[in-house]
Every structure is written in structure tokens, then in C-alpha cells.
Amino acid sequence: MILVTGGAGYIGSHNVIALLDAGYDVVIFDNLELGHIETVETLKNINSNGRVVDFVKGDLQNLVDIKSVFEKHKIDAVVHFAAYSQVAESVKNPQKYYFNNVYGTLNLLCAMLENNVKRIVFSSTAATYGEPVYVPIDEKHPQMPINTYGKTKLMIENIMDDYDKAYGLRSVRLRYFNVAGADSQNRVGEWHEPETHLIPNILKSTFSGGKTFQMFGTDYPTKDGTCVRDYINVEDLAKAHVLALKYLENGGRTNFFNLGTNEGNSVKEVFSSCEKVTEKEISVEIKPRREGDPATLIADNKKAKEDLGWSPERSLEESILTAYNWEDKLTKSIKIGCIK
């Protein structure tokens, strides 16, 4: 059985589906602060060749909670998503981030070691690189995070290296670029309150009652003045986690990989694609730059391709379409009171 921390959240829930499809039984551990019980119910009802989905509500900051999962289930490996991930908030309230992300992970690793579980796939981030020195960014790029969120993830990567040397705990750290899209069967999707990400914010503005989309900064040194990012589809991303797990099962050593497409799209390009996919004219308000946004972030994904046999398959348009279908479902469900 695979333990998925944060399995009720956006990326975690898509990974639960990918693990079930790959034939694993899963136990989700989530405190439901940012994850949703409706997502857990959806995942429990997925009929994937009789695979089991269990759910344990608990907080990683409480060692007793996480230890209880290992008492209840025989865990073979862990896929660890549970974390706070808002950059601006992390700078304003670092204590919250260090306790939840770093201390929470220490508790998880403690429970793993106590139960002799020695394999973990960890949700890391391109934010560990900081301001790019060159693009595309490969895994040799210096890791100099410029915000607390990125620092917490880098600290965890470093802790994992020490735990490998001392205890033989092997980890794969997956450094995500900009994750986008939703389940192609529209079962789960991105559901943050408040939403800060580009694609859902553009799409939300197309629904009645949605706020005008705000474009942050048009004076960057890029092709059209707006920030360039590497948008990786969430289902493609989930597949990489399954491959990382298999890599560890097959005796692979501790490693780290970028997950991105090797291609960059500007905010204006993403905006135009959203108008094209939704066939709607979307209103936009130009705002000043958002603090802390680097001009360009693009992944070099060669290492994941070569060592994991992974490659992204879905286009930006597919990510936008699935995200739109999900927003539509979410908006309707909230309106009729199906979900909180």
C-alpha cells in the first residue's frame, strides 16, 4: 500500500488516480485544511480494478497522527505532497511554512524510519532554484531559493540526502514547474481558496460572477512583455510519480528531476489560448508586476526523460480545456450547494 500525504489536494488527488490505475492500493493522509472531503469521496468511489482507497484524517505536525497510519496499514512507500505552497504567504508568515512543511516532513520521515519504510517520492519545486541564472533550467542549476516556500522545499531535499546517507532512506525529488489542467474524466481538479494561479484565474473570470482577470506586469524582458512559464499537465505530472516509485522499487538510488515541458508560454499566450479554447472574449485588467515573479522559468526535462522514461504528452490547450471543464463543474456544484 502506498501512503499519499496531501492526497485530497490538487496534485495529490490526480496522483491517487494515477497510482490506482497503475495497480497500487492507496491510503490518503490529509488534514483537509486545503484538501477537500468531496475529493476524498470521489477518489474512494473510483472503481479501478478493485484497488483500495483508504483515508486517514490527520496532521503531519502531530506525530501521533502520522504514526497511526503506519499502525493501521503496511506501507510500502510514500508519495509526499502535504505542504503549504503559496509564495507570498510564505514570506509573510515563515513560521507557518517551516512548521508545516519542514517539521511536518520530519515527523513523516520519523514514522517511516520507525516502520522501516525506505522509499519516498517528494513533491519539490522549481522555486528551489530561485532567480534563474540560465534557462532552460536543468538539475545542475544552483539552488538558491528567494522565498520561504522554496527554502522549505530545499531544506527537505537536503534532509532527505542526510537520511539516505545515515539511514538508507531513498528519495526521488520531483521539481515541478507550473502545473496545469485537470483530470481528463473531470473527476478532480484544481480547487484552491483563494485561487492565485494563472489558468484557473483566467477561466474563473469567464463564469457569471467571476472577477475580471488581472494580468500582473507587461514590462518584463520577454517576447511580449509578460512572464514566461513552463506549464506541465497535471496528469503527465502524476505519471512521473508512478515512474519515480517504480524507479525506487527497482533499486534506483536517491535522485531528483525537473518536471516540465522544455517550452515556455507567456501570460499573454496563455490568455489567448484560454480565449480560443473557451470561445469567449475574456476581459482583462493590466496590473503592475506581482512581487517576486521572475521573468522566465523553463525546465530542461532531459534527465527525467532519460532516467525515468517519462515524457509529457498533453498540450497547453488540453490543460486549459480540462481546467475549464473542471471550473464549470465546480461553479455549478457550488451554486446548487452540492459542495461547501
Residues carrying an active site annotation: 149
Select the span of 53-61, 197-205, 251-259, 301-309 touching ligand UDP (CB under 6 A): 197-205
Residue 205 phi/psi, 5-degree rounding, is -70, -10
8 Å CB contact between 237 and 230: no
Strand partners, 125: 176
Tell me how crowded residue 230 is: count the other CB atoms within 10 A of its CB: 27
Select from 128, 178, 258, 265 the one that contacts ligand UDP (CB under 6 A): 178
Select the span of 21-29, 111-119, 150-158, 214-222 touching ligand UDP (CB under 6 A): 214-222
8 Å CB contact between 54 and 26: yes
Tell me the pairing of strands 2-5 and 265-266.
unpaired
207 is a site residue for ligand UDP (CB under 6 A): no
Select the span of 42-50, 98-106, 184-192, 213-221 touching ligand UDP (CB under 6 A): 213-221
214 is a site residue for ligand UDP (CB under 6 A): yes
298 is a site residue for ligand UDP (CB under 6 A): no
267 is a site residue for ligand UDP (CB under 6 A): yes
Residue 268 CB, shortest distance to ligand UDP, in Å, is 9
Expressed in angstroms, the distance from the first to the final Cα of the chain is 30
DSSP single-letter state for residue 153? H
Amino acid at 148: T
Count of residues that bind ligand UDP according to CB under 6 A: 13
- CB-wise, 290 or 303, nearer to ligand UDP? 290
- CB-wise, 38 or 263, nearer to ligand UDP? 263
8 Å CB contact between 267 and 198: yes
Would you state the cell numbers that stand for residue 98, as one nine-digit string?
517551516
DSSP single-letter state for residue 186? S
Shortest-Cβ-distance residue relative to ligand UDP = 227
Residue 216 CB, shortest distance to ligand UDP, in Å, is 4
8 Å CB contact between 203 and 181: no
Interface of this chain with ligand UDP, residues 139 to 168, rule: CB under 6 A: none
Amino acid at 140: K
Select from 158, 185, 186, 196 the one that contacts ligand UDP (CB under 6 A): 196
Amino acid at 259: L
HSE toward the beta carbon, residue 175, CA cutoff 13 A: 28
- CB-wise, 21 or 293, nearer to ligand UDP? 293
Q: Which of 8, 248, 240, 246 lies closest to 117, judged by CA?
A: 248
Interface of this chain with ligand UDP, residues 276 to 295, rule: CB under 6 A: 290, 293
d(CA 59, CA 86): 18
Residue 249 CB, shortest distance to ligand UDP, in Å, is 31
227 is a site residue for ligand UDP (CB under 6 A): yes
11 is a site residue for ligand UDP (CB under 6 A): no
Distances (CA, A) of 66 to 31, 55, 112: 11, 12, 9
Amino acid at 47: N
Select from 57, 67, 96, 197 the one that contacts ligand UDP (CB under 6 A): 197
Select from 22, 216, 278, 302 the one that contacts ligand UDP (CB under 6 A): 216
232 is a site residue for ligand UDP (CB under 6 A): no
Q: Which of 32, 23, 323, 54 lies closest to 199, judged by CA?
A: 323
Select the span of 24-32, 72-80, 131-139, 191-199 touching ligand UDP (CB under 6 A): 191-199
Select the span of 5-13, 76-84, 160-168, 210-218 touching ligand UDP (CB under 6 A): 210-218
Interface of this chain with ligand UDP, residues 80 to 109, rule: CB under 6 A: none
Give residues in contact with ligand UDP (CB under 6 A): 178, 196-198, 201, 214-216, 227, 229, 267, 290, 293
